[in-house]
Amino acid sequence: VAVSTRLRSSADARSSRRVQWRAPVIQAAGRLRLADRLSSGVLGLAKPVSPTLRASRLLVRFKSLSSVSTLFSMPERRPFVRLPTDVYPVNYGLRLKPDLIDFTFEGKLEAAVEVTQGTNQIVMNCADIDIITASFVPEGGDEINATGFNYQNEDEKVTLCFPSILQKGSGSLKIDFVGELNDKMKGFYRSKYMTPSGENRYAAVTQFEATDARRAFPCWDEPAIKATFDITLIVPKDRIALSNMNVFDRKPYPEDHSLVEVKYATTPIMSTYLVAFVIGEYDFVESQSSDGVTVRVYTPVGKAEQGKFALEVATKTLPFYKDYFSVPYPLPKIDLIAIADFAAGAMENWGLVTYRETALLIDPKNSCASSRQWVALVVGHELAHQWFGNLVTMEWWTHLWLNEGFASWIEYLCVDHCFPEYDIWTQFVSADYTRALDLDALDNSHPIEVDVGHPSEVDEIFDAISYSKGASVIRMLHNYIGDEVRGHVQPADLWECLEQASGKPIAAVMNSWTKQMGFPIIVVDQEQNCPNWMVPISICTSEDPSCTKMKVLLDQPETTVNVTNIAPDHWIKINPGTVGFYRIQYSSAMLESLLPGIRDLTLLPVDRLGLQNDLFSLARAGMISTVEVLKVMEAFVNEPNYTVWSDLSCNLGVLSSLLSHTDFHEDIQEFIRNLFTPIGMKLGWDSKTGEGHLDALLRGLVLGKLGKAGHKGTLEEARRRFKEHVEGKQILPADLRSPVYLTVLKHGDSTTLDTMLKLHKQADMQEEKNRIERVLGAIPAPDLIQRVLNFALSEEVRPQDTVSVIGGVAGSSKQGRKAAWKFVKDNWEELHNRYQGGFLISRLIKLTVDGFAIDKMAAEVKSFFESHHAPAAERTVQQCCENILLNAAWLKRDAEDIHQYLLQRKAPPV
């Protein structure tokens, strides 16, 4: 049988059912791009063997005043001008002398510069730095002292004014300055740690991306303005002092014999945001990669053993990237170091990569499988940047997505090479691909490639669009053109190179994905028109689910292809491997034909996952009923795959959170217990001979889900094992700690919380502290929830981890969500001051308010942030308000149907 398949691409499709769906209550819920284009029902096919495929452009056109874009429009962008080009640096000679007692530093800059046209001023970036003196010495001329320093604090610039014209040519700019070792986890800052003897001390460390090198020294802090660096650090002689390059001279500091002067080799030409230095107390483990690069992993004192896993990953990874890029690693050494107070996961400073402790340290006995995997991915990501980002750098932050999206894609390639048993590409779909689709379904998403101006705008795009959608689109491109075509330049040049190498219209395809936000939905059986996407479509059939039967580029209003040799009982699957960055809505008949492929596992795991995830998203958008998704979820009764269960679990968690606003929340818990019990019984509590990494992940996931949902047997066993663990009789394996802790807390009292806080205090590993911090919010009693929130801001919790404690409270219950939001409002000044506009403030807001489902809460959140400005989180606030309205609409639309379905499931058969 030949199946005729029409591929259509459209901007708009409206039916009478569509109009009914657009009742005022839904309009008030706002504009969900993936919701607005298609019929709310899944239409049946007149001829089930002739599916019609189409792609829709998802640009929304609600005109109602109550639409989200009207209620929550983005503010006007702040005016911004990049640095003038009349003077640029060639080399920075930089000397820094940090004071680890008073938390200040002295600096001397002697920069070799080039004056391209005569000027009487030099404009540089400078923030939170006081310039003492500045002068310019033209080559072969006399020194000219600056007569004034004009600080533009809002734009983080300083203008050095000179009494005469600096003539075209080479010269030297000399600046003496002082600054503060701040406690904001950005720029040159202090990081608190505890010595093995229990004494609190401080390290001086750096985090310069995106625009914070200017807090350590006056500089041209734009990625395209590259130079070489000669760095000298004057530090206590009993401290480790590291920078991007190897040490080439170390000698006593003549003015103070307790100090040493450490000079580092000249760096390659590089951007300011990649400069780094660390001064503190560390141990290390060392090895060499097969191509002769010295690799060290620096750990807290006494914990060198915990650096061995990352060392193994790094030494395997460097040669892998050398072969992949066909370029050797260009520095003589690379250091990976664990920093106690660190806002991000890690930072790719050239030759000196900085990490949170939990992203680098692995204890052979006390680290769980998911931590090992996380460390492998983060090491793979940061080392990829040593080439793609450091050696070749984006011209401006507009192209951050290419830098981060590429590293987020290739980290999986690297981990798959090092640890094939992780099945990491299936996990990519759950961790990155679906996460990006979820965010990109919002009106307040943004294109992958977004114009960036003012520094406050840069932090906003360190998000799932730049990282996860970027990685997903690169994965789709990789699949479209094949592995043999490579190129390493900036976007327009890169597309041109790849186009020449592949013979395919790469620029046209990629521009449709990077320059507009959103994504198409490929809908089966409905009429549409007006193309706006160039969509690479792949098709497979049940004859060979692992093999793509045909590929087509959907670039016209209508394309017809014939899928040949399809038996009447065979299914057709669009987007095998879940590679194309789009959602699919099948007709009822096609969906029905795919269900046996879920039950008998003939559909590949990644496609079982993708099918369920698409349906869940379409239900949230109001395009199908949530009941349809619950019915499909029940088909996963034989599912063995960890990543598929993980995605199911995540979506059920979202639904459970939504239904916490109803009086039948317990019914969805029963559904969860029923769904997860068979796999829980099969796995049991204890690992079996021959089990591997994925079995450990699955056991933890399933037991945690059953325990949280109140499965009686799981709760009893968790309490028994927890008691033995606390008493020291039988220590819990690392992989069981999170599910056990979560279960006993969810059904615990003040004694449980006291015990857990005691375990937290006793924990020597940051991984264990974080494990406890993330689940504390599960405690149900209101007074205990308040205790957990107060604990979040205590000295017991590292500044960067406060966010996950508060987020854990908000995500655990309706009561927790209300309490967390009130706590954030009451403590806003302290929290905002702590994170100073970095991305942690965005994460805090999202975790706290995203789960609300009442229209008035969106207005309350909007109102609060209108009077409490958070410039780096403006887009996040818009997204959260939109999500709240969408949740409210979802609840109004589907709650009663879900309730009836869950009651019907419980009813005894007649």
Check if the beta carbon of residue 83 is closer than 8 Å to that of residue 220: yes
Q: Look up residue 848 and give its two tokens.
A: 């706290």
Check if the beta carbon of residue 420 is closer than 8 Å to that of residue 354: no
List of residues 6+ apart from 681 with CB closer than 8 A: none
- Give catalytic status of residue 382 as yes or no: yes
List of residues 6+ apart from 846 with CB closer than 8 A: 876, 879, 880
Which strands sit side by side in the sheet containing 129-138, from one edge to the other? 144-145, 129-138, 169-180, 104-115, 87-99, 228-236, 259-264, 247-252
Amino acid making up residue 617 = S
Alpha-carbon 123 to chain mean position: 34
Report the candidate in 284, 301, 92, 105 with the shortest Cα–Cα distance to residue 189: 105
Q: How far apart are CA 652 and CA 132, in angstroms?
A: 59
| Three-class SS state of 346 | strand
Amino acid making up residue 588 = S
Q: How far apart are CA 219 and CA 217, in angstroms?
A: 6
For residue 142, count other CB atoms closer than 10 A to its CB.
6
Check if the beta carbon of residue 470 is closer than 8 Å to that of residue 408: yes
- Burial class of residue 601 (count of CB atoms within 10 Å of its CB; 0-12, 13-18, 19+): middle
Report the candidate in 652, 699, 645, 698 with the shortest Cα–Cα distance to residue 671: 652
Check if the beta carbon of residue 444 is closer than 8 Å to that of residue 74: yes
Report the candidate in 169, 167, 147 with the shortest Cα–Cα distance to residue 159: 147
The radius of gyration of the chain from alpha carbons, rounded to an integer in Å, stands at: 28
Q: How far apart are CA 640 and CA 805, in angstroms?
A: 32
DSSP assignment of 665-702, as one string? Answer: HHHHHHHHHHHHHHHHHHH-SS--TT--HHHHHHHHHH
| Three-class SS state of 278 | strand
Q: How far apart are CA 334 and CA 243, in angstroms?
A: 10
404 labelled as ligand-binding? yes
Please tell me which residue in 382, 411, 449, 457 is annotated as part of the active site: 382
385 labelled as ligand-binding? yes
Q: Which residues are annotated as a binding site for Zn(2+)?
A: 381, 385, 404
Residues annotated as catalytic are 382
